[in-house]
Amino acid sequence: MADPNADPKNVIPPAGGESNPDLLDDPDPTPKKTYTHEEHKALVERAVRARFKNFVPKADYEQATTRAAELEDASMGLQSENQKLKATLAERDKIELRAKIGTEMGLPESLRKYIQGADEAAMKAAAETLRKDLGIRQDKGQPVPKGQTPSPENENEFMNGFLMDMVHGDRSR
């Protein structure tokens, strides 16, 4: 029961208390314990600590949320930089491919920028068209300047082309 030495102001009556007339027919005849204010406070603190032991303090939560937002921003920045670098690399690869195809087709360096296409085959076709439109001839993969004849190994091809040009009206050679 109640502690005889306890201060009556600090005594908290038990739940349902002995003064509750509904509990007079209580099947459990054991007397209910009465707690002092300090005992009750200690019990509540212990129950609260047990209940919330896995919860993070608000300051720690806010700090973690801020850090997560910073990391998300950094991640977005890195993704953006990665996309820019991929685009730069793709453009560099395209320039190198233009240079290679332009060299193979005998086009001067100043004309290689006009070689366009989505892939190597399209770029080769564009370079071939450009070469033909400008009248740049090739001999063994090298351009043959206007006014010069190709090497004897390619003379038949040159003569056939020359005669075809004459028949079709292109006499610029």
pLDDT tens readout for residues 34-89: 888 898 899 998 988 888 877 878 888 899 999 999 999 999 999 999 999 999 99
Q: What is the pLDDT of residue 1?
A: 47
Total Cβ atoms within 10 A of residue 142 = 13
Under a CB-based contact definition with an 8 Å cutoff, are residues 23 and 39 in contact?
Answer: no
Tokens of residue 1, six digits: 């029961």
pLDDT mean over 9-16: 54
Which of the residue ranges 68-77, 108-117, 131-140, 142-151 has the most confident prediction, judged by mean pLDDT? 68-77
Strand 35-36 versus strand 11-12 pairing type? antiparallel
- Mean pLDDT calculated for residue range 116-127: 91
The rounded distance, in Å, linking the Cα atoms of 138 and 131 is: 9
Which is more confident, 157 or 145? 157
Least confident of 4-13, 22-31, 44-53: 4-13
The percentage of the chain sitting over the pLDDT mark of 70, rounded to a whole number, equals 66
What pTM was computed for the model? 0.43
Structure tokens that stand for 56 in this block = 């993070």
Residue that is written with structure tokens 């908290």 in the block: 12
Task: Please name every residue paired with 36 in a beta bridge, in sequence order, or none if there are none.
Answer: 11
Query: What is the predicted pLDDT for the residue at 165?
Result: 75
Phi, psi of 36 (to 5 degrees): -80, 170
Which residues, in sequence order, are bridge partners of residue 143? 138
What does the alpha-carbon distance between residue 43 and residue 51 come to, in Å, rounded to a whole number? 12
The domain ranges of the chain are 1-14+31-55, 58-142
Predicted local distance difference test score (pLDDT) of residue 111: 86
Question: What pLDDT is recorded for position 173?
Answer: 47
Whole-angstrom distance, CA of residue 141 vs CA of residue 106 = 7
